């Protein structure tokens, strides 16, 4: 008897976990991803800020599954899903038939309809993005050292991070660390400590998903690292000269050459494609392009298609008596991947599927050297909330623990121990000789 064929699109946390959960199942799995690697996205900001090299946080997908013989890994880009014929189509026209499909193609950043901003303010979702941001940050200091006119030099030494969620906070904190501690000895004409790092947030506080008290602690820690925290600053324009912000109705211009976008995400276009193909009702796609799933993570009328991770929506859980949406974090994607895999096995065996229930293990955000905020639910106790040095150690432990593969964990710890002692950041090498021209920079990364 032919074994059921499970196709998984995407090798992020959701897709990886689903494939792993099918480890001992009598199914054949084809895992398709546009890149050749699984990326540990929570540490991507470390690559963007030259603290870690790419191999420390990314491992080839086929390496991770080398011993799981029921997985075939393909490097490919899914451009269409033929729901009626049960086949996915790759970029070169190749069609791959499936019995069960798990769509885990995740999210990218969104400029809320202002796509021209992308050229001036790259986001941080892929390794390419991280290389591009690293290149811009490092070359901005090089430009400042070359620039002899002190007025023209200012924008090269002004860095704006837009969006004060966990990624924005991590980026701003680490960039301040670089300017204050890593670079000062290395330049002769500029004082890198005078670089301005702006964290620009439209809302009223940083880390809005965290409780108010931790938000305030985070802001204090950022400020003491040298970050200028600009809350209630709504960005209205981004171009090659800098950003325009609206502060309580007043427009201001901030001249800066290096801008990082950490403000919005949009789901993979496969969500809209599936909604059309499955003839889902109009409200099935939310503003961010995520697709509504049934409680068991399948699509209405299509029990053979599951959607997991950042592409899925309409899931909620109880927190402190309130109903909240499941957050777009890696533990949620992994939990969904596991349940989708279990439900596939249940359907194959003729059993009923189980609904997805999100288990909240808490939220962590690091701010920079030695500071972080932690909000962890403790059964029968409530919430454990703390910040500062121990929060940072906790954050470090959790992130290194969940890194895929022993070798990476070890090298990451070594790299960090070294950075911690010396303030040095070792991955500061920019390949290539092209000059940094933000006005004409394409969205394409040139690491």
SS (H, E, C) 183-225: CHHHCCCCCHHHCEEEEECCCCCCCCCCCHHHHHHHHHHHHHH
3 state DSSP class of 392? helix
For position 77 contacting a second copy by CB under 8 A, the verdict is yes
In the list 20, 89, 99, 145, the residue contacting a second copy (rule: CB under 8 A) is 145
Return the structure tokens found at 297: 């993570």
In the list 82, 115, 186, 251, the residue contacting a second copy (rule: CB under 8 A) is 186
Other Cβ atoms within 10 Å of 294 Cβ, number: 18
Return the structure tokens found at 350: 């003729």
For position 157 contacting a second copy by CB under 8 A, the verdict is no
Least Cβ distance, residue 356 to a second copy (angstroms): 29
Please name which of 332, 263, 33 lies closest in space to residue 340, comparing C-alpha atoms. 332
Overall residue count recorded for the chain in this entry: 447
Return the structure tokens found at 119: 């050229």
In the list 2, 113, 151, 185, the residue contacting a second copy (rule: CB under 8 A) is 185
3 state DSSP class of 317? strand
In the list 1, 151, 432, 440, the residue contacting a second copy (rule: CB under 8 A) is 432
Between CA 75 and CA 161 the distance in angstroms is 33
Are 260 and 274 spatial neighbours (Cβ–Cβ below 8 Å)?
Answer: no
Is beta strand 258-261 parallel, antiparallel or unpaired with respect to 158-162? parallel
In the list 146, 287, 324, 383, the residue contacting a second copy (rule: CB under 8 A) is 146
Closer residue to a second copy in complex, CB, 36/232: 36
Least Cβ distance, residue 337 to a second copy (angstroms): 21
For position 189 contacting a second copy by CB under 8 A, the verdict is yes
In the list 5, 20, 54, 80, the residue contacting a second copy (rule: CB under 8 A) is 54
For position 388 contacting a second copy by CB under 8 A, the verdict is no
Determine which one of 170, 177, 201, 294 is catalytic: 170
Size of the site for a second copy (CB under 8 A): 62
CA dihedral 243, 246, 252, 256 (to 10 degrees): -20
What part of residues 24-53 is at the interface with a second copy (CB under 8 A)? Answer: 34-37, 53
| Span from 1-9, 134-142, 154-162, 260-268 in contact with a second copy (CB under 8 A) | 134-142
Beta bridge partners of 80: 89
Instruction: Give backbone dihedrals phi and psi of 433, rounded to 5 degrees, phi first.
Output: -115, 5
| Span from 182-190, 231-239, 303-311, 361-369 in contact with a second copy (CB under 8 A) | 182-190
| Span from 171-179, 255-263, 333-341, 408-416 in contact with a second copy (CB under 8 A) | 408-416
In the list 411, 413, 416, 423, the residue contacting a second copy (rule: CB under 8 A) is 411
In the list 5, 20, 62, 370, the residue contacting a second copy (rule: CB under 8 A) is 62
Please name which of 103, 87, 36 lies closest in space to residue 63, comparing C-alpha atoms. 36
Least Cβ distance, residue 408 to a second copy (angstroms): 8
User: Residue 171 contacts by C-beta under 8 Å, 6 or more apart in sequence?
Assistant: 45, 48, 49, 124, 133, 161, 260, 262
Least Cβ distance, residue 191 to a second copy (angstroms): 14
What DSSP character marks residue 353?
Answer: P
| Span from 78-86, 116-124, 142-150, 236-244 in contact with a second copy (CB under 8 A) | 142-150
Return the structure tokens found at 110: 């969104």
| Span from 6-14, 122-130, 317-325, 372-380 in contact with a second copy (CB under 8 A) | 122-130
170 catalytic per annotation: yes
* Residue 216 burial (10 A CB sphere; 0-12, 13-18, 19+): middle
Site of interaction with a second copy (CB under 8 A):
34-37, 53-56, 58-60, 62-63, 65-67, 69, 71-77, 91, 94, 126-128, 131, 138-139, 142, 145-146, 148, 185-189, 407-408, 410-411, 414-415, 418, 422, 424, 426-433, 435, 445-447
Catalytic residues: 170
């Amino acid at each position: 008897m032919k074994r059921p064929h499970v196709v998984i699109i995407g090798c992020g946390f959701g897709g990886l976990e689903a494939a792993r959960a099918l480890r001992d199942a009598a199914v054949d799995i084809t895992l398709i991803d546009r890149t050749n690697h699984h990326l540990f996205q929570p540490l991507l900001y470390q690559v963007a800020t030259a603290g870690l090299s790419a191999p420390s946080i990314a491992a080839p997908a086929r390496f991770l599954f080398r011993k799981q013989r029921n997985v075939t890994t393909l490097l490919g880009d899914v451009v269409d899903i033929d729901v009626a014929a049960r086949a996915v189509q790759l970029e070169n026209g190749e069609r791959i038939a499936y019995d069960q499909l798990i769509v885990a193609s995740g999210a990218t950043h969104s400029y809320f309809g202002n796509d021209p901003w992308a050229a001036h303010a790259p986001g941080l979702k892929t390794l390419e993005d991280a290389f591009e941001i690293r290149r811009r940050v490092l070359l901005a200091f090089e430009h400042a050292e070359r620039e002899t006119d002190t007025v023209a030099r200012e924008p090269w030494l002004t860095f704006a991070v837009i969006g004060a969620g966990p990624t924005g906070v991590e980026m701003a904190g680490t960039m301040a660390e670089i300017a204050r501690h890593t670079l000062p000895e290395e330049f002769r004409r500029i004082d890198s400590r005078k670089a301005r790092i702006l964290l620009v947030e439209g809302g009223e506080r940083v880390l809005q998903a965290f409780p108010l008290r931790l938000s305030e602690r985070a802001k204090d820690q950022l400020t003491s690292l040298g970050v200028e925290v600009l809350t209630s600053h709504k960005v209205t324009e981004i171009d090659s000269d800098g950003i325009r912000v609206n502060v309580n109705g007043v427009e201001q211009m901030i001249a800066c050459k290096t801008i990082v976008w950490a403000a919005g995400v949009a789901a993979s276009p496969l969500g809209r494609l599936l909604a059309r193909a499955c003839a889902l009702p109009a409200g099935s796609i939310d503003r961010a392009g995520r697709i509504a799933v049934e409680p068991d993570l399948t699509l209405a009328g299509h029990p053979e298609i599951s959607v997991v991770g950042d592409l899925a929506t309409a899931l909620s859980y109880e927190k402190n008596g309130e109903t909240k949406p499941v957050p777009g974090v890696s533990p949620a994607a992994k939990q969904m991947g596991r349940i989708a895999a279990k439900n596939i096995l249940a359907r194959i065996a003729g059993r009923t599927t189980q609904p997805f229930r999100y288990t909240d293990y808490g939220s962590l955000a690091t701010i920079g050297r030695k500071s972080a905020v932690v909000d962890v639910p403790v059964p029968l106790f409530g919430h454990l909330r703390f910040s500062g040095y121990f929060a940072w150690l906790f954050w470090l432990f959790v992130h290194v623990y969940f890194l895929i593969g022993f070798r990476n964990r070890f090298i990451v710890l070594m790299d960090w121990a070294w950075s911690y002692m010396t303030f040095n950041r070792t991955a500061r090498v920019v390949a290539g000789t092209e000059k940094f021209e933000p006005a004409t920079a394409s969205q394409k990364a040139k690491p």
